[in-house]
Structures are given as structure tokens and as C-alpha cells.
Amino acid sequence: MESNVWQEKIEIEGPYNFDIVLERQSLDPLSNIDKKNRSIKVPVFLEQDPNVIDVMAVGTIEDPVFILTGGQQNVKDALIDRVSEIFQWNVPLKQIHEHFQKTSLNELFKEHIGTPLVLDFDLFGCLIKCVIHQQLNLRFAYTLTERFVKTFGFEKDGAWFYPSPQTVAVLTVDQLRELQFSGRKAEYVIGIAKAVVEGELDIESFKQDNNEEVFTKLIKLRGVGNWTIQNLLLFGLGRQNLFPTADIGIQNALKKLYKLEQKPTLEEMEQYKQGWEPYLSYASLYLWRSIE
């Protein structure tokens, strides 16, 4: 039997805690995780072709080592690059950890050492997921997203792929309402997909854009506001210096950390974050982690 499956060993600089990655990913019912073998199946669209890469951790937090097993030998390097980007293996967490040892978040960074900012597997999927999750409790948000993907996306080798913009653009509001979408949210999701299909929105160009350019392109779309854009910048593009002050989770984490009687004001949050730049996204991540 001819094998088109390749395997690659990747070693990166620690600290990097892949078990925390798996724990956070396991919140999403679409994730295919094997905690015992410390592995996850990653769906990667490359040049219109779906690939599934199995990522298994075989190292430690201090000396992280991964075994990648995948398909399509002819695009192996591009697939490894994309997986490395998703898991942010090129980001020196040691440097970020040392930066925060001189701040009021030093204990949080010691407790959750090596927590990386992991990207969503698909940029269009990330944008749609952000819109679906707006103003919903987390459990139902994941349930609704799961219904959406399992109804209109597809599965390959145990990994779920979000539906393409072309698929979503021709859906009807009624089809989404059957899954318990609100009528308005259904319109937003279909409208975003149409903007991509009709060339009004080039999502891939976001990777080269700065944060302001991404904001300008997205804010024009119905159903897309600050919260959605900040989440896309964080979990779609891995931008390192974002601090969503309007996020309730971050407000609650700061209240807990500083033993406040009520949630911090915007002015207090602006004050706290001084000294955390240029890694505000990691401050956000560790604050969320502290209340999970």
C-alpha cells in the first residue's frame, strides 16, 4: 500500500504547556483530542484542499517536542508552517514570561507558565464563530457553532472543517433558524460570507494588515463590532498586544486578582495594564486562564 503520509519531529524553545492547550481546546465540542496520547487532529485548508494533521506532544513544558503526522507530501512544508502558526511555536514564551515577572501578573505567569495564544484553525471560521458567540453564554455558543459546522461543514479523518464562504453565502435565514440562530444573527453570518464571495472582503489580506486596517475593513459589515474584531485579531491572527477592556471575563479576573469589591472601571483597567505592553494579549490570556 502506497503511503502518502509523512511524519515530522518539531522541537521548540520552552516553556510551552501543550496540556493546557489541549485542556482549553477541549471546551470546543468540535475538537478531536486524545488527552492520554497528548494529541489533537488539526484541520488545515491549503489551496482548496482539506488536510488533517495529527499533532502529538512527546516532550515536556521545559523541552517541548512534537510529532506531526499528515497527508499530501507535496505541501508538507506549507502544512508544517501553518500548524506552527496555529500553535504559535515561533513566539518566544520565555521572553514574555520574563517580561511579566516584573509586573503585578508575575504570580499568574508562574502558575500558568507556558500558556500559548493558540489560533483558531480557519480564519473565515474564526470570524463566523466570533459572530455566533456574540452575547451568548459559552456553552450554548459552542453548541450552536457545533450544529452549524456539523450541518454545513464536513468531516475528514476525524477533524471537522468549517463550511466555506461559498457554502454559507447561499444558505437561507430559515436554514439557520432551524439550528436556533436568531434571525438577525443568521443574516449577519450569511452577509459576511456573501461579502467574501463577492470580493468585498479579502480575509487572507488581514495577515498583512495592521490592526487598524483590519478594523476598518470589518467594521463596515453588519453584525461586526469591536468585540468581534478584537477576538478575530487575537484568535484568528495572533496579535500580541490586545487588551479587550469590555470583556466581562477580564473584568472579573482583575476583580479577583486585585481583590476589588466591584468590577474595575475603564480608568482602573488602563492603569493596571501599564507595564504589560507589548504583550497585552498574553496578559488577557493569563487573566482568562485564572478564572477558568
Which positions are catalytic?
A: 247
Least Cα distance to 114 among 281, 282, 284 occurs for 282
Q: What would the grid cell of residue 100 be?
A: 511579566
AA letter at 58? V
Backbone torsions φ then ψ of 192, nearest 5 degrees: -65, -45
Asked whether the beta carbons of 69 and 57 are under 8 A apart, the reply is no
Q: What would the grid cell of residue 5 be?
A: 503520509
Contacts 24+ apart (CB under 8 A), 214-219: 218/127
Cα separation, 117 vs 137, in Å, equals 22
C-alpha distances out from residue 201 to 128, 191, 235, Å: 13, 11, 19
Cα separation, 197 vs 166, in Å, equals 6
Asked whether the beta carbons of 18 and 37 are under 8 A apart, the reply is no
Asked whether the beta carbons of 25 and 33 are under 8 A apart, the reply is yes
Left, alpha or beta for 20 (phi > 0: left; psi -120 to 50: alpha)? alpha
Q: What would the grid cell of residue 225 be?
A: 463590532
AA letter at 11? E
